[in-house]
Structure formats: C-alpha cells, structure tokens
Amino acid sequence: MNSPPLVTPFSDSTFALTFVLLLLAPLTIAGVALLNTGLGRSRSAAQSLLGCVTMVSVSAIAFAVVGVSFAGAPAHSITIAGKSWNWLGGAPLMLRHFGAMQPQGQLGVLFEFLAVGFAAIIPWGSGADRWRLPAGCAATAVLAGGVFPLVAHWVWADGWLAQLGASFGLGTGFLDGAGAASVHALGGLSALAVVWIAGSRKGKFPREGLATAMPGHNAVYILFGCLLALVGWLAWNAAGAILWLHAAPVTLVVTTLNTVLSASAALVATFTVTRTRFSKPDASMCANGWLAGLVTSSACAAFVTPFEAIAIGAVAGITAPLLVELLELALSIDDPSGAVSVHAAGGLWGLFVAGLFSHGHGQLLAQLVGIATLLGFVFPLVYLLFAIVNRIIPFRVEPDGERLGMDLYELGGGAYPEFVIHRDESYR
Amino acid sequence: MRALFILCGIAVELLGLGVAVRGHMERRQEPRPGAAGAAHGAGRP
C-alpha cells in the first residue's frame, strides 16, 4: 500500500478561493439538469428534474459510503515489469478518514463529490422519457460507488494514468484539469450504455423511413440552462486547475477566458452549421454546441492559449450537431439530450487536444492512453454493470408508462397539469 | 514503437465500438417489444 502523495500545503487565500469556487460549481449541475428537462418531452418533465436531484443525492451517498475509499489515497499498487501500477485507492469506508485529511485533500474530496453528481445526471438525460427512476438510482449507485472512483483515482490521486509520466516518460502523465475524463467522457459513455440497454423511445425509429423528430419541449429551459452552466463551469475549471494541475491563482484569469472563448466559438460554429443546413439556427443544437465547447474546455482551458481555445471550441461546435444527426439518423441511437455527442465526444476531443497543444514530450501519447482506457475498459465495464442492474431492476418503463408519460406513471402528476395537452401521433 | 502500439490499440477499440454500434442498430429494425420484453431491456423480439 502506498503512502498518500506529498503536496504543498495551500495558503489560506488559495484555500478560501478554491472553496468559494467549489460553492459555485453546482450551478453547472443545475444548468445541465434544466437542459436535460427541456430536451425531454413535457409529459416527463417533472420526473426528469426530480431524477436529476435524486441522481445527485444517490451519487453523493454512494460515493461517501463506498466510492471515496476507492478514489482516494493511500493506494493499492502492484508491480508489473518493474513498474508500480497504482490501480485502486484504499482509504477507509464511509469517510472515516475525512477529519484527519489535510485541508486541500478535503477540497479534493469535495470536488469529487460534485463531479460524481455531475457524471450521474449526464446519462439520465439520455434515458429521458423511458428510463425508470428506481433503475436510474441503482445505476447511479453503481456508477458513483464503483466506476467513477476508479477513474478519479487513476486520474487525480496519483493513479497509474497520472503516473504515466514518471513510469514511462509520457509527458507529465495523463492530464484532466476539470473532469473531461472522469465526468464527461464517463458520463457520456454511460449515456450510450443506457440508450443501448433501455432502447429507443417508442415510435422513434419506425420500420420504414427516417427517424421521428421528437424535439425538446422547452427551449427556454434549454437556453437558460446553458447560461447557468457557464457560471458553474467557470468555477469548475478554475477549481480543477488549482486542485489537479497545481495552477497558481494568478493563472486562473486565462483559464476562465479560455472557457468562455471555447464555449463562444462552439456556439458560433453550431449556429453557422445549423443555419447553413436548415436555413435557420436550431436552438437546441446551439445549446448542445455551447455545451460541447464547455466540455472541451474542461480538459484543456488551463494550458492552451486563447486562440487555441477558439479553434478547439469551434471544432467541437461543428462536430456536435453533425454527430447528433449521425447518431440519430445513421446509427439509430436515440439520445434526447445529446450526451453522447456532447459529453463523450466533447470530453474525448478535449483530452486529445490537451495532449496536442501541451508542450510536454510524450504528452499526446499519455492522453491517448487515457482515451484508450476510457473506450476500451471503462465503457465496456459500465455497459456490463448496467446490463446486470437492468436484469435486476429493469431500466425501461412499461409501454403504458411511455404512453402516459413518466410524470403520471411514476409520480402520479404532471409538471404542467393545467397547461399542456399531450398529443403524440405515434401512439394512435 | 510505443506510439504505434497505442495507436493500434485505439484502432482495435474503435473497431470493437463499430461492431457494437452495428449490433445495436440491427436490434432497432425489429418490432418493438411488448410489456414483458420491455421490462427486461428493449430490443428483444
């Protein structure tokens, strides 16, 4: 078992700054929760938003009880070919060691608590309109108690990915400033697993013809969610830079600027793409583009130049709407919130460019090893675990639930009882 | 050599992902499951 890594203690001002930033970070979760709700249908709106709150709660408890042990230090390492591989944390269960931790260690755990909640609500949006709440809670417990801590440990607690630099001379090891891997790539890939296991919404992919369009029910939620997410994201990227990249507070202005520029470039790119393709800009696609820019910035905002941030965001903004279309029309993937295109693809793209624009020798290879681990190990693991959960607590709602809407079926009342009349041609 | 190894690994993974996508696409063409099938995951006949 390894000792906890030695870190330079934070000054009081750095501690206070990081703590305040972490207090603002949950606005990101609020923004994405609104996006998830707005992109689903009106008859499932209350279940969607309640689900987001529930996922955050379940993930916090699962992480506190079990996950924090696997995520933290000290660690269990094994030696293979003369190299030490730090696979798993071995801290006490149920946060028993929390009071004895150094203050910056406590901040790191707080960051992980927020990160695991964020990762949990990403697949929830993709399962909108058919993923049952109890099944979502069970899947979230598995994600927060088992998979997220593994990735967080490898990336943030001197795990084997973080040690790729020391062990194999690959730059400074795998870099993930603010959760591009452990939150977004993990959440996005989990979303793909959910979509495949739960299946598409009824009537989405008819036997003949194109996929049925099922637009989000509230563009105001979607776009306000974008603005709310920005506020949290600025805090998130800055706090991550301090905690995981050991950035000095004076460098945070550039990190913040890069976050805004990445999102802005992505929005402009998506606006242009959708306007060119459909004659008019598409509000929900633009929201997804904006979010893709923010997701990308999570990986690299702390160490790219503003011009590079614009270029990186623009590519994310061009790719996001095209991927949404590709997944839906060509690959039959029914992803109402676009999490696979935005969080998985955006996160992986950010991790790649973090290596591309970093000046460390071998950094790109370190990032590629991390991406390969996410695609080749983490995604199959999540799929397998979710498939087991699905056997015990079925993911998909009964056909009646889908017809009535998740609100009436699971909660007994709708989000807009006096204002909305449901009408859906596919159920006639 | 190390770079080639990593790139080949990613290529194999992408191939596997492609196969998985293809496998799930075929399910989508089948009739939607009834209540019993749906309760244990979509896509089964």
Beta strands in A81-161 (DSSP E): 83-89
- Amino acid in the structure at residue A286: C
CA dist A119 and A122 (Å) reads 6
Q: Can you give the pTM of this predicted structure?
A: 0.91
**pLDDT tier for residue A7 given thresholds of 50, 70 and 90:** low
CA dist A325 and A278 (Å) reads 12
Quote the pLDDT of residue A425. Answer: 55
A312, containing H or E segment: helix A306-325
B-chain residues near A185 (CB < 8 A): none
Q: Pairing relation of β-strands A83-89 and A75-80?
A: antiparallel
CB pair distance less than 8 Å for B40 and A390: yes
Distance from CA of B6 to the nearest CA of A (A): 7
Distance from CA of B40 to the nearest CA of A (A): 5
Quote the pLDDT of residue B26. Answer: 56
Does the pLDDT of residue A84 top 50, yes or no? yes
* pLDDT cut 90: percent of chain A above it: 75
**pLDDT tier for residue A421 given thresholds of 50, 70 and 90:** low
What's the token pair of residue A353? 């460019």
Quote the pLDDT of residue B43. Answer: 33
Residue of chain A nearest B30, judged by CA positions = A207
Least confident of A123-132, A159-168, A207-216, B32-41: B32-41
DSSP string, A11-41: PHHHHHHHHHHHHHTHHHHHHHHHHHHHHS-
Quote the pLDDT of residue A422. Answer: 58
Quote the pLDDT of residue A406. Answer: 93
Quote the pLDDT of residue A195. Answer: 95
CB pair distance less than 8 Å for B28 and A399: no
Quote the pLDDT of residue B39. Answer: 39
Predicted ipTM of the assembly: 0.78
Distance from CA of B13 to the nearest CA of A (A): 6
Quote the pLDDT of residue A208. Answer: 76
CA triple A113-A117-A119, angle to 5 deg: 115
CA dist A196 and B42 (Å) reads 8
Residue range A181-210, pLDDT digits in tens: 999 999 999 999 999 999 999 888 887 778
Does the pLDDT of residue A81 top 50, yes or no? yes
CB pair distance less than 8 Å for B24 and A332: yes
CA dist A181 and A116 (Å) reads 12
- Nearest CA to A66 out of A169, A126, A152 is that of A152
Quote the pLDDT of residue B41. Answer: 37
Residue range A333-367, pLDDT digits in tens: 999 999 999 999 999 999 999 999 987 888 999 99
**pLDDT tier for residue A72 given thresholds of 50, 70 and 90:** confident
pLDDT < 50 stretches in chain B: 29, 34-45
CA dist A318 and A330 (Å) reads 18
Q: Does B43 touch chain A (CB under 8 A)?
A: yes
B13 neighbors A372 (Cβ within 8 angstroms): yes
Quote the pLDDT of residue A211. Answer: 85
A193 neighbors A386 (Cβ within 8 angstroms): yes
CB pair distance less than 8 Å for B14 and A331: no
CB pair distance less than 8 Å for A331 and B21: yes
Mean of pLDDT over chain A: 91
What's the token pair of residue A23? 């207090």
Residues 6+ apart with CB under 8 A from A296: A180, A262, A266, A312, A313, A316, A346, A347, A349, A350, A353
